[in-house]
Amino acid sequence: MKKAMAVLLMCLCLSACAAPAESGGILGQASGLDEEEILLTVDGREVPSWRYLYWLAYTCDRVAERYRDAGAVLDWQAPLDGGTLADYAKDQALADTALYATVENWAERYGCQLSEQERQVAGDDWEQRTGEQGYLEKLADLGLDRERALELNEVGALYAKLCALADQPDSALAPAKEAMDAFAAEDGRITVDRILVAAGEDRNAARERAAEAFAKLNGAEDQEAVFDTLAKAGDDKAGPRTILPGDGQFSRELEEAAETLEVGQCSGILESDEGFSILRRLAPETAEIAEEYFDSRLQEAAAGAKTTLSQAYEQLDAASFYKKLEALRVKKTQE
């Protein structure tokens, strides 16, 4: 499962830049826009140009880096998913911008605003990660100064508060068990435990031990307790775990067998290269997926947000913007 807010973690590590931002900064010069003018709104939240342009520069850099690594020629007009590569960069930057704005909107809605003390703590923590000159220059190339980096950093702190609220039972963001179970089933994740008798050097002897374990299990009044005992004494010490199709924890044959089980049900003896397994399907480990579920809700909200785009946004050309941005970066290094 993808992490919707992985991008926020990057902002938590941002370092300071010494020079203050100006309306005619590198982003404004590359785009021809006033960096403080409102470029778009997300569910009514106004977003200044610099925020979107920061994400556009960030996305373009990532695309250019992938092309360089592949030894390919970067062509922003190359067709991609019904548009061009430049369209993709513009859309991805808009998605990241909307995600940040949605975090701020949710923080207001659910009472997770930062107090002055929390803002100070977030700033102090951020300050401790400053000082690497090369990284400072890289951030300046993305149009960030200290004030702007701190602003984005605070969005990361708001996200952390929202996550904490979602972890509180009966809170406004606490997920319903039914919703969590449905989310776990969407991508085929299954929580299982298993009794494993490794084949070892004597596969026939291992087969006999597996049959003995299966007989004990079937004859037990408390099958769950017996399964737990046999699993702990077996050769798989990992214990209960959540698997995803193709994640490599089990062979495909074992995955398919697990998929057929109902919660609480045990399989028969399943033979594979490693030995003999008996599986038991468990209820989903909701604690393991709580953060992913919250991220999915946040991402869906951002994707479905009412976004109003200005004429300046509509006229912005990503390829032209990035070409000018790269030229300005080169000029800066030569000064």
Boundary of a domain, candidates 283, 304, 325: 283
- 126 or 42, higher pLDDT: 42
**313 and 251 assigned to the same domain:** no
Cα torsion at 242, 247, 252, 255 (round to 10°)?
Answer: 10
* CA nearest to 293, candidates 162, 147, 110: 162
Indicate if the pLDDT at residue 132 is higher than 70: no
Indicate if the pLDDT at residue 22 is higher than 70: no
pLDDT tens-digit map of 277-293 = 999 999 877 766 788 88
In a domain, residue 185? The reply is: no
Per-residue pLDDT at 164: 93
What is the pLDDT averaged over residues 135-163?
86
**82 and 154 assigned to the same domain:** yes
What is the pLDDT averaged over residues 195-215?
95
Percent of the chain with pLDDT over 90: 68
Of 45-54, 75-84, 113-122, 323-332, the range with the highest mean pLDDT is 45-54
Per-residue pLDDT at 133: 54
Boundary of a domain, candidates 268, 283, 298: 283
Per-residue pLDDT at 129: 66
**199 and 63 assigned to the same domain:** no
pLDDT tier, 136 (very low <50, low <70, confident <90, very high otherwise): low
Q: How far apart (Å, rounded) are the C-alpha atoms in residues 113 and 115?
A: 6
**274 and 294 assigned to the same domain:** no
Per-residue pLDDT at 105: 98
Per-residue pLDDT at 19: 38
195 DSSP β-pair partners: 278
Q: How far apart (Å, rounded) are the C-alpha atoms in residues 232 and 238?
A: 9
**113 and 86 assigned to the same domain:** yes
Instruction: Count how many domains the chain has.
Output: 2
What is the pLDDT averaged over residues 255-283?
94
Of 5-14, 76-85, 86-95, minimum mean pLDDT range: 5-14
Of 17-21, 134-138, 184-188, 278-282, the range with the highest mean pLDDT is 278-282
Indicate if the pLDDT at residue 165 is higher than 50: yes
In a domain, residue 182? The reply is: no
In a domain, residue 85? The reply is: yes
In a domain, residue 179? The reply is: no
Query: CATH number of the domain that 258 lies in?
Result: 3.10.50.40
Q: How far apart (Å, rounded) are the C-alpha atoms in residues 56 and 41?
A: 16
Per-residue pLDDT at 288: 67
**144 and 27 assigned to the same domain:** yes
Question: Cβ–Cβ contacts within 10 Å for residue 30, how many?
Answer: 22
- 132 or 223, higher pLDDT: 223
For residue 243, which phi and psi values (nearest 5 degrees)?
Answer: -115, 155
**86 and 228 assigned to the same domain:** no
In a domain, residue 183? The reply is: no
What is the pLDDT averaged over residues 171-194?
85
Identify the domain containing residue 213 by its residue range: 190-283
In a domain, residue 180? The reply is: no
Indicate if the pLDDT at residue 23 is higher than 80: no
Boundary of a domain, candidates 263, 283, 303: 283
- 288 or 294, higher pLDDT: 294
In a domain, residue 181? The reply is: no
pLDDT tens-digit map of 208-249 = 999 999 999 998 999 999 999 999 999 999 999 888 888 889
- 145 or 226, higher pLDDT: 226
What is the pLDDT averaged over residues 119-123?
82
Tokens 């991609």 belong to 80
Q: Are 126 and 150 in contact (CB under 8 A)?
A: yes
For the chain, counts of helices (H) and of strands (E): 14, 9
Beta-strand relationship, 45-48 and 79-80: unpaired
Indicate if the pLDDT at residue 184 is higher than 90: no
Q: Are 176 and 35 in contact (CB under 8 A)?
A: no
**17 and 124 assigned to the same domain:** yes
Per-residue pLDDT at 127: 67
Indicate if the pLDDT at residue 13 is higher than 70: no
Q: Tell me, what amino acid is at 106? A: W
The terminus-to-terminus CA distance of the chain in angstroms comes to 46
Per-residue pLDDT at 135: 54
**72 and 147 assigned to the same domain:** yes
**71 and 126 assigned to the same domain:** yes
**104 and 160 assigned to the same domain:** yes
Tokens at 112, concatenated: 């997770």
**199 and 141 assigned to the same domain:** no
In a domain, residue 17? The reply is: yes
- 72 or 291, higher pLDDT: 72
Per-residue pLDDT at 126: 66
